[in-house]
Amino acid sequence: MGISQIGFVMTSFGVTDAICSLVFGPLIKLFGRMPLFVFGAVINMLMIMTLLIWPLNPGDTSLFYAIAGVLGMADGVWNTQINGFWVTLSGTSLETAFANYRFWESAGFSFGLLLTRFTIVSQFLHISLGMLLAGMLCYLSIEFYDDICVRLLKRLLLRSSRRSEPLN
C-alpha cells in the first residue's frame, strides 16, 4: 500500500459516510435516537480496538478499505444523529445551537491534531477511545435526564388536570 492508494481509501470513507448519512437520517423515526447513537459508538469502539490490535501490514489493502468504510458508516451515524440531537436540545435558538456545535467540533479537531503531534498512534487511539466513552456517558446522562424530566412533567400535568376537573 503506497501513497497512491490513500486517496482511494479516503474516497471509500467519504462514499460510505455519504450513503450512511442518507440512510441513518430517516432511521431515527423508526428506531429512535438512542439506539442509533449506541450503534455508532459501538462501531467506532470496535474500529478503534481493531486499529489497536491490528499488526499494520501494507499488504492488507482490502483491510484498509474495510476499516475506512466502517469508520465512514460510524461518521454517517454521528453526522445525522448529533445534528438532530442539537435541534432537539436547542428548541428555537438553532443558530446558537449550531454555532456552539461547530465550535466544539472544531475544538475537537484541533485537539486531535495537537495530539497527533505529541503522541504515538496507540496513545492517540487510547485517548480517542476514552473520549468516546466519556462522550457517550454524557450523552446517555442527558437522554436519561430528559426522559425523567418529561415523565415528571407529564405526571404534574396529569395531577393538575385532575384537580381542576369539577366534581359531579
Query: For residue 17, what are the contacts with CB-CB under 8 A and spacing of at least 6?
Result: 72, 73, 75, 76, 79
* pTM as predicted: 0.81
Q: What is the end-to-end Cα distance of the chain in Å, rounded?
A: 82
CA distance 18 to 16: 5
- Tens digits of per-residue pLDDT, 137-152? 999 998 888 888 878 8
| pLDDT tens sequence across 35-66 | 999 999 999 999 999 999 988 888 888 898 99
- pLDDT digit string (tens) for 3-21? 888 889 899 999 999 999 8
pLDDT recorded at residue 164:
64
pLDDT at 167 over 60: no
What pLDDT score was predicted for residue 165? 60
When pLDDT is cut at 50, 70 and 90, the band that residue 28 belongs to is confident
pLDDT tens digits, 113-130: 999 999 999 999 999 999
- What's the chain look like in SS3? CCHHHHHHHHHHHHHHHHHHHHHHHHHHHHHCHHHHHHHHHHHHHHHHHHHHHCCCCCCCHHHHHHHHHHHHHHHHHHHHHHHHHHHHHHCCCHHHHHHHHHHHHHHHHHHHHHHHHHCCHHHHHHHHHHHHHHHHHHHHHHHHHHHHHHHHHHHHHHHHHHHHCCCC
Instruction: Give the range among 7-11, 29-33, 43-47, 70-74 with minimum mean pLDDT.
Output: 29-33
Arithmetic mean of pLDDT over the chain: 87
CA distance 72 to 23: 13
Mean pLDDT of 68-82: 91
